[in-house]
Structures are given as C-alpha cells and as structure tokens.
C-alpha cells in the first residue's frame, strides 16, 4: 500500500521508520523515570487556615476532591449516603483543575464528554474545549449542588490508613493531626497529581525566580488564571523548560507577555489543528435531551476505541483521528482484514497524518530552521497528541526563541540561567513545564500506605504490582474502593468516562452493603487472582510502546517493571468492560465480593439485600486466612509476575490469541486494536461478557 504526503508524493516508509528510531535512540536514557525529582512546596492559590484535628466518624470518606471525588460524592449522595466527606491536599475541589491554573490551560477531549454531570447540573460548556477556569467553576458547581462542601476538609493530606477490624472501620490520619474514622474509604488520588521537576544539575542554584506550571505564580507574572494579561513579565527574560501538552497551551500567552521568551525543547510535540469554538446555545438545546451525556460518552468511546457506530456525535480531535484510521482499515477488502494488514493500514494512516502535521509546521513557522526543529518524528500517539492554533504561530514573534537541544535536554542550571548545547541563557525566571509523575507505584504517589486486615500493608500486597478486582476492590482491604483507570477499562483518553462508571459501581456496592446491614465488603482472594490472570492473558492495552520516543506514555522507554506491567485494562477494550461491569453491577449478586455482617467470620456471598443467606462459616474463614498467608509469602501469582522476563517495553505476556499479537506493539495502535478485540468477542469467556 502507498502512503502519501499532503502534496501527493509518496512516503518512503522505511526511511521514515529509520528516522523515528534514530530520534528515539537519541533520547533514551538509562535512568528513565528516575531522571525526575518531586516538587515540594505549598499551595499558592488558597491560604491554609488552621483548624482543630478531627476525630469523628463518617460513613464514607473519599480521598481526593478532583473529578473522581466529585462524581463519587454525587453518586453516593444519590444513593442515600448523606455523610460523605471529601479530603484534599488542595484548597478547594477541582483536582487537576485546581492545581493547573497556567494561562491557556484547557481540556483536550471535548467539554461535552469531559466535564462530568453536565446533564445533572444543567451546565452548557461555553466552548468545545473548555478552559481551566470554567472547568474549575464546574467542579465547584458540583460540590455545591450535591452538598459536598458542607463536610469537605481541604488542605488536608492523608498520611496513613489503618483498618480497625474490631469496629469494621478505617482510621484515617492526616497532616492536620486528624484521626477520623469511616466505614468506607474511596480513593481518587489522580493520575497526574504529583508534579515533577527535571533532575538537572544545579537546579537549586538558580538565583532568579522559578515555579512549576501547576503552581503558577501570578504574583510574579501579573495577570490571573481568568486570562488577565501577565503585565509584570513585560521587562522579564523567561525560560520555559519542556514542550509537552502544558507548554503548548501556555507558550502563546508567555510569548505575548515576556520581553524575551526562551523555550527549551528536548522533544517536539505533535501539534495539530485545535478548532475550538464557542457553543451555540440553540444547537446545545437540540442535543441536550434526557440521557444525552451518557449517550455522547458512549458514542465517543465507540468511535475512538472500537465499535460499530456509524455516527460521530462528538466530532473532536480524538474521534477524528480514530475515524481516519478506521476508514483506512475499512478500505481493506474483508478477505484481507488480517491483523497484519490492519496494522499496516493503521501505520499508513499515521504516517500520512504525521506528514500533514509536519507540513503544518512549515506552513505556519516562517523561520525554516525553527520549523525544522519543531517537527515531531514519531507516531502521533507515542506522546500525548497536542492540538493548538497559536502555539506554532508564537515562534514567529521576534521575542520568542526555540532552544532545541537535539534530544539531550538542558544540561545545567546556573545561578544566572539555563545551559543547553554549551550556551548559557541568562534569564530572570524559569518555568518548569515538566509535567507529573505517571506510572509510578501507587503508595509513594498517594503519599500514604494502608494497613489492611491482619496488618497487611498495601505496599506489600502490591509489591509485585497492582492486584484488584475490576481495578476497584482489593483483597485484604475491606471497604476500600479505588477510582482510577488500570485493571478496569483503562480508558485513558477521556478519563471522566472511566470515573463515571467506577462511581456507579462504588455507589451500588456501598448501597447494597448498607441496605443489607453488612459491616464489611471485600473482594475474595480467588476473584482477585482470577481477574489479574484474565487481564494478563490479554493483549495488554497498556502504555508501553517500545518503538516510540521516550516519554510518560512508555515509562521513558524503560522496562515498566511489575507495577507497569500490571497497569493493563480489560483485554476486550473499554466498551466491553463497561457493558460487563454494568451487568455485574445490576445483577445484584456482586460476584467476587464477600459481604460480611460484622467482623466475625460470617460471610454472605452473592446475595441480594433481601436474601440474608449466611453461607460463610468459620472453616471458610480459616481457609481464607490460610490462602492469605500464601499471598504474603511466595504466592505463585506474585512470583509469576515478578519473575516474568524483562520487557523491552511491550506486553510481557505472550498473547494467547494470535490475532491480538499486534497489540503489544504500541498504544497508538489501540485505535485499531480495540475494534479487532471486539470482533473477537466470541472468544471471550462467557463469564466476562
Ligand atoms: C492540564 C490538564 C489537562 C487535562 N486534560 C484532560 C483531557 O482533556 N481529557 C482527559 O481525559 N484527561 C485530561 N487530564 C487528566 C486529568 O488528570 C483527568 O482528566 C482528571 O482530572 C482526573 O481526575 P481525578 O479526580 O482522578 O484526579 P485529580 O484531578 O488529579 O485529583 C486528585 C486529587 O487528589 C488529591 N490527593 C492526592 N493524594 C492525596 C492525599 N494523600 N491526601 C489528600 N488529597 C490527595 C490531589 O491534591 C488532587 O486534588 C488533564 C490533566 C491536566 C493536568
């Protein structure tokens, strides 16, 4: 098959792949994620107010007041749980949107599917891709509408969780000296909440001003996060380090405000057309019919991650990318739709798209040398794809200088400025657009460990990688629920869809426990083991992409280790997971969970709230205890995972279904893979349908 450039000439695919590999190899470094250091420091946005420590009790405490906390809080209130308390390190609700107030911050997936609970709140996003202030305000709207402010504790960091089996409740300790208790604990600590800095030598020596983009210092820059111009930068020389999704959004604003702006680039982002526009209220009234947002989310997931829909309701940059690939695959004659041919069709589509994006750089950026350096040499989904209509244009301003480091990065920070390529750039301020910790183990990222039943710590239970049932429930940790992506849908591109589904599950389980008078609910050891084995038997719809340039999507090009290898999703794709979990939830039997009446080992398995059949016995409980010991010792499951062969990046598990082997290659092929998986649903065990 031929792949064509926008000017109609054909692409030399082999030469292009060679170039991709060369560019990747330049950037590979052995320290992977260890090249970064954590950002320490305070909340610059809200004053921390002293308060006495709390020692009270709540039915549910939820850790994290981002979208996860808000959606869960709302669904729990709807389920009749009046006393839900949300805790957050930040000074308000919003999570990522509380912390990220840099100029130009906005969502990348369409607001209509990204901003949660639009139907419930009646809010109409003002733009196709809403800006951060509107999303933050929407978070506050949800907090108010569902009464979540009444009992929230902000500027409160959870430091430790301990299960008190004698009272069937969790003890929650915080940096405020709190020692409160809760029957149930939810956790939504966020995929991107720990800000990181590059580990550049001399970083502490800089004598000027500096900050991270997620702690924007408007006192220094002037202006505000609502868009007022940053007038205090007019006489400043500013360096911004990093050219990922954040920098792409804030560079145009800095370029307008600074005397001189130096943008230090290790790897260029791919920057496609954004096409943002205001929402037409008349049009919105026509689409906002009952059930619309759920329909839109499902339609988007079907378009982007595999399905048979013919209509694209959302029409955003992601669904456009998926449509392009799918049409290429659909152009194959049915008898030629082998996995290899489909992967090749995907590649052609990607080669063409990336040529188009590179040609866009030439058409926008006037200086040829700058344009050359701004071209991204990798597949579009190797790194977070960016969409912007002012970023490339910023380099046409005389005050905006791209300092490309040819993949090597900044080599040193001095008291005066930044050194790259042997030259020192003197600046007044350094802004680190260096992103967040991604893919690191849960416990250090959360900032707390949990001590569950029998004194087992979560860090020990997960020492060979994450183990859950459905990505939510953990054996040995009763009444705890995790709201995040891995081991469930792994719906990476529109996170709130995932959060909305897990909130439904969590609310349903807690409601069931309360209606049945159960003190405890916990995943059985067998259910957790079966779930993890099933996940590992699949094609690993996960992030590692060995042929990609290093970045947070692929653990900086290093072996992801056991933690990373278990960050997989339901093998048949997010949509299949959503329909599976919907059936699981509504069955009323909650297979794999054990509901217990009290801390005594009387267990009730798979019953509806009306049928109190006590099926567990003391012997059951002894058997369970002995199997628990196996987990903590050299359990076969744990050993299997930790001794799996070192990965060069892709799935370490040999795919069992031959047709799925292409999946291991790259996240970017997820778009092609998911429909493939769905077509193979006949091979899915009935248990997981
Ligand atoms: C600028 C930006 C743009 C994004 N755009 C998109 C997009 O377009 N589409 C998309 O799908 N995703 C996007 N994301 C990803 C985004 O993280 C998720 O969409 C979503 O906001 C995650 O919500 P969350 O509640 O799970 O986590 P978060 O919003 O990160 O909230 C987690 C909260 O937990 C708190 N917390 C953590 N640990 C503790 C502790 N120990 N004690 C107390 N509190 C704690 C944190 O302070 C934080 O407020 C974007 C992220 C950023 C930063």
Pocket test for ligand 1, best of 65, 193, 318 (most atoms within 8 A of CB): 193
Q: Residue 618: what pLDDT?
A: 28
Pocket test for ligand 1, best of 136, 176, 190 (most atoms within 8 A of CB): 190
What is the mean pLDDT of the segment spanning 183-192? 95
% of the chain beyond a pLDDT of 90:
67
Q: What is the torsional sign of CA 381, 383, 385, 391?
A: negative
Q: Residue 251: what pLDDT?
A: 98
Checking if the pLDDT of 182 tops 60, the result is yes
190: Cβ below 6 Å to ligand 1?
Answer: yes
What is the mean pLDDT of the segment spanning 124-129? 98
Least confident of 1-10, 11-20, 90-99: 1-10
Nearest-atom number in ligand 1 for the CA of 70 is 25
192: Cβ below 6 Å to ligand 1?
Answer: yes
What is the mean pLDDT of the segment spanning 425-432? 98
Q: Residue 667: what pLDDT?
A: 44
| Domains assigned to the chain | 57-192+439-463 (3.50.50.60), 195-274+382-432 (3.50.50.60), 593-655 (no CATH)
The single residue listed with the structure tokens 């982007």 is 304
Chain centroid offset of residue 479 CA: 24
What is the mean pLDDT of the segment spanning 138-153? 98
Q: Residue 523: what pLDDT?
A: 98
Backbone angles phi, psi at 117, to 5 degrees: 55, 35
Give the DSSP H or E segment for 322.
Answer: helix 317-330
State the distance from the centre of ligand 1 to the C-alpha of 100, rounded, in angstroms. Answer: 9
Q: Residue 672: what pLDDT?
A: 43
Checking if the pLDDT of 411 tops 50, the result is yes
361: Cβ below 6 Å to ligand 1?
Answer: no
Q: Residue 548: what pLDDT?
A: 87
State the distance from the centre of ligand 1 to the C-alpha of 276, rounded, in angstroms. Answer: 23
Q: Residue 295: what pLDDT?
A: 96
188: Cβ below 6 Å to ligand 1?
Answer: yes
88: Cβ below 6 Å to ligand 1?
Answer: yes
Are 439 and 456 a contacting pair, CB within 8 Å?
Answer: no
- Take atom 21 of ligand 1 and give the residue whose Cα is closest: 96
Chain centroid offset of residue 160 CA: 24
Nearest-atom number in ligand 1 for the CA of 66 is 25
- Take atom 33 of ligand 1 and give the residue whose Cα is closest: 64
Nearest-atom number in ligand 1 for the CA of 214 is 53
Checking if the pLDDT of 52 tops 70, the result is yes
Checking if the pLDDT of 439 tops 90, the result is no
State the distance from the centre of ligand 1 to the C-alpha of 613, rounded, in angstroms. Answer: 41
Give the residue from 468, 484, 574, 474 showing the smallest Cα distance to 531: 468
Nearest-atom number in ligand 1 for the CA of 193 is 30
Give the residue from 72, 77, 82, 71 showing the smallest Cα distance to 116: 71
Q: How confident is the model at residue 539 (pLDDT cuts 50, 70, 90)?
A: low
Q: What is the pLDDT of residues 260-297, one digit of tens each?
A: 999 999 999 999 999 999 999 999 999 999 999 999 99
Higher pLDDT, 243 or 653: 243
172: Cβ below 6 Å to ligand 1?
Answer: no
Q: Residue 323: what pLDDT?
A: 86
Q: How confident is the model at residue 42 (pLDDT cuts 50, 70, 90)?
A: confident
Q: Residue 307: what pLDDT?
A: 65
State the distance from the centre of ligand 1 to the C-alpha of 191, rounded, in angstroms. Answer: 6
Are 68 and 483 a contacting pair, CB within 8 Å?
Answer: yes
495: Cβ below 6 Å to ligand 1?
Answer: yes
- Take atom 47 of ligand 1 and give the residue whose Cα is closest: 89
Angle at 596 between CA 592 and CA 597, to 5 degrees: 155
Q: What is the pLDDT of residues 341-397, one digit of tens each?
A: 888 898 899 999 999 999 999 999 999 999 999 999 999 889 899 999 999 999 999
The DSSP string of 63-116 is E--SHHHHHHHHHHHHTT---EEEE-SSSSS-THHHH---TT-B-SS-HHHHST
Q: What is the pLDDT of residues 545-602, one digit of tens each?
A: 567 888 887 778 887 777 777 888 888 888 899 999 999 999 989 999 999 997 554 4
- Take atom 23 of ligand 1 and give the residue whose Cα is closest: 67
494: Cβ below 6 Å to ligand 1?
Answer: yes
State the distance from the centre of ligand 1 to the C-alpha of 381, rounded, in angstroms. Answer: 21
43: Cβ below 6 Å to ligand 1?
Answer: no
Q: How confident is the model at residue 310 (pLDDT cuts 50, 70, 90)?
A: confident
Pocket test for ligand 1, best of 42, 91, 96 (most atoms within 8 A of CB): 96
Q: What is the pLDDT of residues 633-657, one digit of tens each?
A: 222 222 222 222 222 222 323 232 2
Checking if the pLDDT of 675 tops 60, the result is no
Are 332 and 341 a contacting pair, CB within 8 Å?
Answer: yes
State the distance from the centre of ligand 1 to the C-alpha of 533, rounded, in angstroms. Answer: 29
Give first-to-last CA distance, the chain, whole Å: 36
102: Cβ below 6 Å to ligand 1?
Answer: no
Nearest-atom number in ligand 1 for the CA of 109 is 8
96: Cβ below 6 Å to ligand 1?
Answer: yes
Q: Residue 549: what pLDDT?
A: 86
Nearest-atom number in ligand 1 for the CA of 90 is 47
Least confident of 186-195, 372-381, 438-447, 502-511: 438-447
Least confident of 322-336, 436-450, 554-568: 554-568
Pocket test for ligand 1, best of 192, 444, 488 (most atoms within 8 A of CB): 192
State the distance from the centre of ligand 1 to the C-alpha of 686, rounded, in angstroms. Answer: 35
State the distance from the centre of ligand 1 to the C-alpha of 109, rounded, in angstroms. Answer: 14
What is the pairing mode between strands 412-413 and 417-420? antiparallel
- Tell me what the pLDDT averaged over the chain comes to: 86
Angle at 189 between CA 199 and CA 515, to 5 degrees: 165
Checking if the pLDDT of 662 tops 60, the result is no
Q: How confident is the model at residue 330 (pLDDT cuts 50, 70, 90)?
A: confident
Pocket test for ligand 1, best of 64, 114, 274, 490 (most atoms within 8 A of CB): 64
What is the pairing mode between strands 36-38 and 196-198? antiparallel
How many Cα neighbours within 13 Å face the side chain of 35?
22
The DSSP string of 408-427 is S---EE-SSEEEETTEEEE-
State the distance from the centre of ligand 1 to the C-alpha of 98, rounded, in angstroms. Answer: 9
What is the SS3 assignment for 608-623?
CCCCCCCCCCHHHHHH
State the distance from the centre of ligand 1 to the C-alpha of 445, rounded, in angstroms. Answer: 13
263: left (phi over 0), alpha (psi -120 to 50) or beta: beta
In angstroms, rounded to a whole number, what is the distance separating the alpha carbons of residues 329 and 356? 19
Measure the CA dihedral 566/572/574/579, to 10°. -120
Checking if the pLDDT of 616 tops 70, the result is no
What is the mean pLDDT of the segment spanning 200-224? 97
Least confident of 226-240, 407-421, 555-569, 590-604: 590-604
Full-model pTM: 0.89
Pocket test for ligand 1, best of 42, 66, 161 (most atoms within 8 A of CB): 66
Least confident of 471-485, 489-503, 639-653, 657-671: 639-653
Are 6 and 356 a contacting pair, CB within 8 Å?
Answer: yes
Q: What is the torsional sign of CA 668, 498, 474, 158?
A: positive
Checking if the pLDDT of 80 tops 50, the result is yes
- Take atom 18 of ligand 1 and give the residue whose Cα is closest: 495
Nearest-atom number in ligand 1 for the CA of 67 is 25
354: Cβ below 6 Å to ligand 1?
Answer: no
113: Cβ below 6 Å to ligand 1?
Answer: no
């Amino acid at each position: 098959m031929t792949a064509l450039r926008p000017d109609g000439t054909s692409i030399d695919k082999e030469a292009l792949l060679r170039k991709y590999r060369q560019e990747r190899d330049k950037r590979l470094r052995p320290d992977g994620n260890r090249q970064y250091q954590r950002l320490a420091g305070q909340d610059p946005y809200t004053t921390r107010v002293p308060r006495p420590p709390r020692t009270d009790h709540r039915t549910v405490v939820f850790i994290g007041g981002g979208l996860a906390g808000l959606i869960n809080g709302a669904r729990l209130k709807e389920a009749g749980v009046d006393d839900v308390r949300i805790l957050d390190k930040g000074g308000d609700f919003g999570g990522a949107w509380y912390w990220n107030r840099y100029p130009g911050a906005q969502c990348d997936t369409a607001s209509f599917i990204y901003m949660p609970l639009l139907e419930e709140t009646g809010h109409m996003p003002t733009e196709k891709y809403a800006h951060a202030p509107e999303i933050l305000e929407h978070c506050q709207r949800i907090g108010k509408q569902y009464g979540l402010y009444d009992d929230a504790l902000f500027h409160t960091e959870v430091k430790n969780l301990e299960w008190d089996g004698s009272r069937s409740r969790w003890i929650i300790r915080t940096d405020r000296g709190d020692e409160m208790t809760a029957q149930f604990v939810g956790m939504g600590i966020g995929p991107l909440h720990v800000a990181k800095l590059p580990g550049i030598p001399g970083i502490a020596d800089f004598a000027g001003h500096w900050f991270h983009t997620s702690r924007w210092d408007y006192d220094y820059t002037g202006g505000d996060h609502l868009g007022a111009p940053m007038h205090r930068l007019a006489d400043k020389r500013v360096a911004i380090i990093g050219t990922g999704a954040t920098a792409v959004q804030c560079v145009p604003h800095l370029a307008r405000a600074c005397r001189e702006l130096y943008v230090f680039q290790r790897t260029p982002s791919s920057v496609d057309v954004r096409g943002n526009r205001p929402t037409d209220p008349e049009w919105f009234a026509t689409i906002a019919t009952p059930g619309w947002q759920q329909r839109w989310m499902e339609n988007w997931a079907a378009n982007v991650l595999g399905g048979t829909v013919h209509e694209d309701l959302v029409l955003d940059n992601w669904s456009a990318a998926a449509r392009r690939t799918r049409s290429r695959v659909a152009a194959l004659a049915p008898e030629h739709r082998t996995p290899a041919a489909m992967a090749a069709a995907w590649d052609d589509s990607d080669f063409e798209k990336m040529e188009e994006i590179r040609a866009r750089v030439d058409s926008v950026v006037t200086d040829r040398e700058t344009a050359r350096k701004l071209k991204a040499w990798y597949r579009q989904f190797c790194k977070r794809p960016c969409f912007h209509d002012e970023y490339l244009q910023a380099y046409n301003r005389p005050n905006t200088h791209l300092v490309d480091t040819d993949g090597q990065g900044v080599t040193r920070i001095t008291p005066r400025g930044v050194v790259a390529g042997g030259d020192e750039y003197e600046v007044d301020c350094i802004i680190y657009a260096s992103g967040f910790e991604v893919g690191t183990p849960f416990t250090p990222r959360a900032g707390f460990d949990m001590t569950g039943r029998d004194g087992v710590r979560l860090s020990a239970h997960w020492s060979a990688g994450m183990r859950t049932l459905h990505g939510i429930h953990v054996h040995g940790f009763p009444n705890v629920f995790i709201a995040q992506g891995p081991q469930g849908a792994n719906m990476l591109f529109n996170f709130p869809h995932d959060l909305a589904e897990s909130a439904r599950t969590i609310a349903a389980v807690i409601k069931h426990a309360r209606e049945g008078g159960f003190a405890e609910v916990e995943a059985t050891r067998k259910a957790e083991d079966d779930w993890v084995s099933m996940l590992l038997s699949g094609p690993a719809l996960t992030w590692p992409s060995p042929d990609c340039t290093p970045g947070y999507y692929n653990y900086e090009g290093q072996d992801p280790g056991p933690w990373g290898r278990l960050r997989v999703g339901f093998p048949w794709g997010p949509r299949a997971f959503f329909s599976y979990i919907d059936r699981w939830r509504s069955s009323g039997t909650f297979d794999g969970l054990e509901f217990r009446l009290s801390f005594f080992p009387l267990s009730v398995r798979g019953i509806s709230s009306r049928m109190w059949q006590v099926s567990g016995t003391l012997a059951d409980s002894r058997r369970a205890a002995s199997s628990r010991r196996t987990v903590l010792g050299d359990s076969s499951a744990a050993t299997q995972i930790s001794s799996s062969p070192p990965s060069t990046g892709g799935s370490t598990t040999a795919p069992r279904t031959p047709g799925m082997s292409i999946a291991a290659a790259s996240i970017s092929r997820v778009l092609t893979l998911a429909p493939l998986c769905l077509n193979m649903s006949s091979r899915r065990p009935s248990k997981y349908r």
